[in-house]
Amino acid sequence: MHRLFRHGLLWLLSAAGLLGLMVAAPAFSARPMVTDDARLTDAGACQVETWFRFNRSSTEYWALPACNPGGNLEITLGGAFADSQGVYHADTVTQVKTLFKPLETDGWGYGLALGRARHIGAGIEDASNVQRYFYLPISRSLFGDRLVIHTNLGATEPSGGERLRGIGGVGGEFDITGSGQTWLMGEVFDHQAGRPFFQVGLRRWVVPGHVQLDATYGDRFQDGSAIRWFTIGLRLITSPLF
């Protein structure tokens, strides 16, 4: 157990160090991580990931339904509504994701995701509120799926006419009990100018494979940061529908 924990910690610290060479992705992954994984919704099934994000001066309400009708193409269409001290904004997200190599126990998995995000709010011009992106989600399973490391590499075309830039993120999830029901997660990512962000959290299967609860805490690597947030989420997965 101690050896396994040390190996997991070394992987996470090494991954966090590599992130200093990257810029992070606007990825939408399996809750509660921002860094995406090389997995899809079950073949023929649908899911909905929904969560509250409590920031210092605003609250966001997210819902991202997704379906995998053909077995290797996950389609996500959803968004968010935010209340920032009486000023309201919304976001819409469209993303498709496929795998070139599904993740296997003690193996590698990788794929491709393409997405478009749009920010809507008072005073925002339509030409400057759209962000397009792509990235490669790469995952590595270790110790019989007890530890899984995720890396994202890609590029984004930010809103406002900015130039194309590299994106990335690194995270890991660790099965605390060995039963696959309770997971500890941590990640480092950067989707804005300035220092990167981090997030840690827990994921718990209430009904294995179908109902999951999660909670996270996140902040920026910066003294006196005013960015910190908490999230509480619910993930529901259907049986095959297609």
- CA–CA–CA angle 162, 166, 168 (5° rounding): 130
- Look at the chain and count its residues: 242
Query: What are the extents of the domains in the chain?
Result: 2-237
What is the reported pLDDT for 18?
A: 36
Residue with tokens 């910190």: 228
Question: CA 241 → CA 39, 97, 103, 215, 238, distances in Å?
Answer: 19, 19, 23, 29, 8
The DSSP call for residue 160 is T
CATH level 3 topology of 2-237: Porin (2.40.160)
Rg (CA), the chain: 17
Supply the pLDDT for residue 9. Answer: 41
pLDDT at 27: 47
**Spatial contact of 68 and 45, defined as CB atoms under 8 Å apart:** yes
Residue 33 one-letter amino acid: M
* Structure token digits, residue 197: 């962000």
Query: Tens-of-pLDDT digits for all 242 residues of the chain?
Result: 545 544 444 444 343 333 333 333 344 557 889 999 999 999 999 999 999 999 988 999 999 999 999 999 999 999 999 988 778 889 999 999 999 999 999 999 999 999 999 988 755 555 558 889 999 999 999 999 999 999 999 888 866 566 787 788 999 999 999 999 999 999 998 766 568 899 999 999 999 999 999 999 999 888 766 789 999 999 999 999 99
